[in-house]
Chains A and B, each alone.
Chain A
Amino acid sequence: MSEQPLPTQITADPAISDRIAEVADRWRDHEWELIRSTPLAPNMNLALDEVLTSAVGRGDRKPTLRFWGWDRRAVILGRFQSVKNEVNVEAAAAEGIEIVRRISGGGAMLVEPEGAITWSVYAPESLIRGLSFAESYAFFDAWAVLALRRLGLEAWYAGLNDITASGGKIGGAAQARRWNAVLHHVTMAYEMNGELLNRVLRVGKEKLSDKGIQSAAKRVGPLRQQTDMPREALIEHFITAFADQAPLAESTLTPEDIVAAEELIEKRFATEDWVNFLP
Chain B
Amino acid sequence: MQGQFKTPGGKLVVVDFQVVEGMLRDVTVHGDFFLFPDDAFPALAAALEGTPAGLDSTHIADRVRRGLPAGAELVGASPEAIATAIQRGLAAAGDRA
Selected interface stretch from B2-10, B19-27, B52-60, B62-70: B2-10
Complex CA gap A79/B14 in Å reads 14
- Do A80 and B30 touch across chains, with their CB atoms under 8 A apart? yes
Complex CA gap A107/B6 in Å reads 13
The answer, among B28, B33, B75, for a CB contact under 8 Å with A82, is B28
- Do B32 and A108 touch across chains, with their CB atoms under 8 A apart? yes
The answer, among A1, A82, A178, for a CB contact under 8 Å with B37, is A178
1/0 per residue, CB under 8 A from A, across B28-47: the answer is 11111111111001000000
A-B contact count (CB 8 A): 77
- Do A1 and B31 touch across chains, with their CB atoms under 8 A apart? no
Main secondary structure of the interface of B (DSSP, over half): strand
Contacts known (A160-B76, A177-B36); A278 close to B30, Cβ less than 8 A: yes
Complex CA gap A160/B6 in Å reads 13
Q: Which residues of A contact B75 (CB under 8 A)?
A: 105, 133-134, 160
Q: Which residues of A contact B4 (CB under 8 A)?
A: 204, 206-207
Check: B73 CB closer than 8 A to any chain A CB: yes
Check: A167 CB closer than 8 A to any chain B CB: no
Check: A175 CB closer than 8 A to any chain B CB: yes
- Do B6 and A78 touch across chains, with their CB atoms under 8 A apart? no
Shortest CB–CB separation between residue A67 and chain B, in angstroms? 23
Check: A166 CB closer than 8 A to any chain B CB: no
- Do B76 and A161 touch across chains, with their CB atoms under 8 A apart? yes
Complex CA gap A105/B12 in Å reads 11
1/0 per residue, CB under 8 A from B, across A60-83: the answer is 000000000000000000111110
- Do B32 and A78 touch across chains, with their CB atoms under 8 A apart? yes
- Do B38 and A105 touch across chains, with their CB atoms under 8 A apart? yes
Which of the listed residues B16, B32, B35, B73 has the most CB atoms from chain A within 10 Å of its own CB? B32
- Do B35 and A206 touch across chains, with their CB atoms under 8 A apart? no
1/0 per residue, CB under 8 A from A, across B74-89: the answer is 0110000000000000
1/0 per residue, CB under 8 A from B, across A80-93: the answer is 11100100000000
**Other 10 A-B pairs with CB < 8 A, given A85-B30, A206-B5:** A78-B32, A81-B31, A82-B28, A104-B34, A105-B34, A106-B32, A133-B36, A133-B75, A160-B34, A160-B75
Listed in ascending order, the chain B residues whose CB lies under 8 Å from chain A are 4-6, 8-12, 14, 16, 28-38, 41, 73, 75-76
**Which 8 A-B pairs rank lowest in CB-CB distance, beginning with the nearest?**
A105-B34, A107-B32, A206-B4, A82-B30, A133-B75, A210-B8, A1-B9, A159-B9
Listed in ascending order, the chain A residues whose CB lies under 8 Å from chain B are 1-2, 78-82, 85, 103-108, 133-134, 159-161, 174-178, 204, 206-207, 209-210, 278
